[in-house]
Amino acid sequence: MQEQDSSTDTNTNFKKYITTSEIDRVFSVFQTFSKNTECIDFSSVNNDEKVLTMSSIGQLGRFGNQLFQYAFLSICAKQSGAKIECPAWIGQSLFGFQDAAITKCLPPAIEYKHNEANLFDVIPEFTPYIEKIAQSKSISVGVESLNSGIYNVDLWGFFQLHSKAFRPYQEYFRSLFQPVDDLKIPLNNGLNILRSKGKTIVGIHIRRGDYITEPRAGFTLIFPAKWYCQWLESIWDELEDPVLFLCSDDLDNVLPEFAKFSPVTIQNLAIKLPDFFKELDIDFYMDFFILSNCDVVCTSNSIFSFAACMLNERANMFVRPIWDFSIKFMIFDPWDSKPLLWLGDKQQRFFKNFAEILYTTYVTQGAWTMLKSIIVYIPASIIKGWGIRLYLGYKVQGFVGVLKSVLHTFGWKSAWQHLETNISGYADK
């Protein structure tokens, strides 16, 4: 396989991180995986050498997801003594990883969770598509591989495990995601400027973007800025010389609502990056780094800010929004919590029903956003979901696959069952 240009590819991956939703990125990961396998000599796989790959990293999920994916990959490889191979991704530039490019097309190892649905359950065509491209049956991989290790497979999944699963590897997890010196020095200079403004740095992350345009997803929980302000007011006077650090993917709109707290943003810290990092346009990582060094952190229901909390060794309080709007926020332990809070009490749900979408959008975002959800966002989300499934069904079995996807969508859940049973070869099914 030809050597990839790391700087070019990571820059490209980052642009997609900024501009595309999680669902849109599903298309890109299919295309990238298919293209990558075209460069691989399948006959070159040597089972005597321990190798662990993750061909989807940098494409399947945004930055926070990528940290969980790479941590799972790295810990499993360490436990089994395997060499890591993966495509170029933004972490190579930020953290100095020097893993080899993928040279082997290995059997897929697809994430499963006990009693929890994931992307591969919701899109049943996903697994046979991956298997067809890889020319190999898949196996299942779960949390137990963190202890036992695994090798000579290609890992597929988000690996957003309950953080207690990573707790035995806390020191190693944190060591993985330390910025390279050329980046750490200017970031620490910016952090020193922030600390000069007060003694208690309160960091707040507010996620908007695709959380607004994907209202069906069971994890898209958006709180209005006024709820964050009310929480701030409840603790502000108890803090010693507090300073608010605010970050958001919708900063221009949320910033004025925090005016009474005189918020500081990354633009106020005069961080002077080397030219290479300027080209990567890494404002998102500068926000992430500051969050990981605040004294108090209030997150969105987002992997991005949750991962920052896991790396934070300074804070004495971590707070997150919850689905109970009568309480709104709760204190949590980033090393003993679910990274995402899904709708549903004992059984999380991948999608909200129509009534839940209307209720949550109305209460948290108002009547206008609720109306837009009905007219624009929900239909667009359904069409995109259908598009992904029909595309994969066709790639797997042509028009027969398309028919199976249609039948499955309209309630015939066994439409893909035969194919899954005979092709997937799940270890635990």
Could you tell me the strand order of the sheet in which 200-206 lies?
242-248, 200-206, 296-298, 317-321, 329-331
**Residue 332, pLDDT score:** 98
* CB burial of residue 8 (10 Å; 0-12, 13-18, 19+): exposed
Full-model pTM: 0.89
> Are both 33 and 128 inside the same structural domain?
yes
Q: Given pLDDT bands bounded at 50, 70 and 90, which one contains residue 24?
A: low
> Are both 110 and 208 inside the same structural domain?
no
> Are both 261 and 356 inside the same structural domain?
yes
Minimal CA–CA distance to 282: which of 302, 263, 300, 266?
266
CB atoms within 10 A of CB 31: 10
d(CA 270, CA 187): 10
**Residue 121, pLDDT score:** 87
In DSSP notation, 31-95 reads HHHHHHHTT--GGG--TTS-EEE-TTTTTSS-HHHHHHHHHHHHHHHHHHTPEEE----HHHHHH
Q: Given pLDDT bands bounded at 50, 70 and 90, which one contains residue 314?
A: very high
Place of tokens 């590819």: 9
Q: Do the beta carbons of residue 340 and residue 159 sit within 8 Å? A: no
> Are both 142 and 24 inside the same structural domain?
yes
Q: Do the beta carbons of residue 36 and residue 55 sit within 8 Å? A: yes
The enclosing domain of 337 has a CATH number of 3.40.50.11350
Higher-scoring residue by pLDDT: 59, 12: 59
**Residue 281, pLDDT score:** 86
Cβ within 8 Å of residue 8, ≥6 positions away: 88
Would you say residue 243 lies in a domain? yes
The helix (H) or strand (E) run that includes residue 297 is: strand 296-298
For 100-114, 252-266, 313-327, which range has the lowest pLDDT when averaged over its residues? 100-114
Q: Do the beta carbons of residue 361 and residue 215 sit within 8 Å? A: yes
- Angular region, 396: left φ>0, alpha ψ -120 to 50, beta rest: alpha
Q: Given pLDDT bands bounded at 50, 70 and 90, which one contains residue 9?
A: very low
> Are both 142 and 273 inside the same structural domain?
no
> Are both 420 and 307 inside the same structural domain?
no
Using the predicted structure, report yes or no on whether residue 22 has a pLDDT greater than 90. no
> Are both 190 and 154 inside the same structural domain?
no
The number of domains in the chain is 2
Would you say residue 293 lies in a domain? yes
Would you say residue 388 lies in a domain? no
Would you say residue 375 lies in a domain? no
> Are both 189 and 315 inside the same structural domain?
yes
Percent of the chain, pLDDT > 90? 75
Would you say residue 382 lies in a domain? no
Using the predicted structure, report yes or no on whether residue 57 has a pLDDT greater than 80. yes
pLDDT tens for 325-351 read 999 999 999 999 999 999 986 677 889
Percent of the chain, pLDDT > 70? 86
Mean pLDDT of 67-93: 97
Q: Given pLDDT bands bounded at 50, 70 and 90, which one contains residue 279?
A: confident
> Are both 154 and 262 inside the same structural domain?
no
Q: Given pLDDT bands bounded at 50, 70 and 90, which one contains residue 411?
A: confident
Higher-scoring residue by pLDDT: 202, 38: 202
SS3 call for 220: coil
For 136-150, 228-242, 335-349, which range has the lowest pLDDT when averaged over its residues? 335-349
> Are both 277 and 141 inside the same structural domain?
no
Cβ within 8 Å of residue 158, ≥6 positions away: 60, 61, 65, 68, 69, 111, 118, 119
d(CA 301, CA 297): 13
**Residue 13, pLDDT score:** 41
**Residue 305, pLDDT score:** 98
Would you say residue 192 lies in a domain? yes
Using the predicted structure, report yes or no on whether residue 243 has a pLDDT greater than 90. yes
Q: Given pLDDT bands bounded at 50, 70 and 90, which one contains residue 32?
A: low
Mean pLDDT of 400-427: 68
* Average confidence score pLDDT of the chain: 87
pLDDT tens for 169-183 read 999 999 999 999 999
pLDDT tens for 199-212 read 999 999 999 999 99
d(CA 160, CA 66): 10
pLDDT tens for 355-365 read 999 999 999 99
Minimal CA–CA distance to 206: which of 331, 303, 300?
300
Would you say residue 405 lies in a domain? no
**Residue 420, pLDDT score:** 43
Would you say residue 390 lies in a domain? no
Q: Given pLDDT bands bounded at 50, 70 and 90, which one contains residue 215?
A: very high
> Are both 48 and 117 inside the same structural domain?
yes
The boundaries of the domain holding residue 27 are 6-172+415-424
- In 143-267 the beta strands, taken as DSSP E runs, fall at 153-156, 200-206, 242-248
> Are both 268 and 292 inside the same structural domain?
yes
Minimal CA–CA distance to 190: which of 295, 278, 272?
272
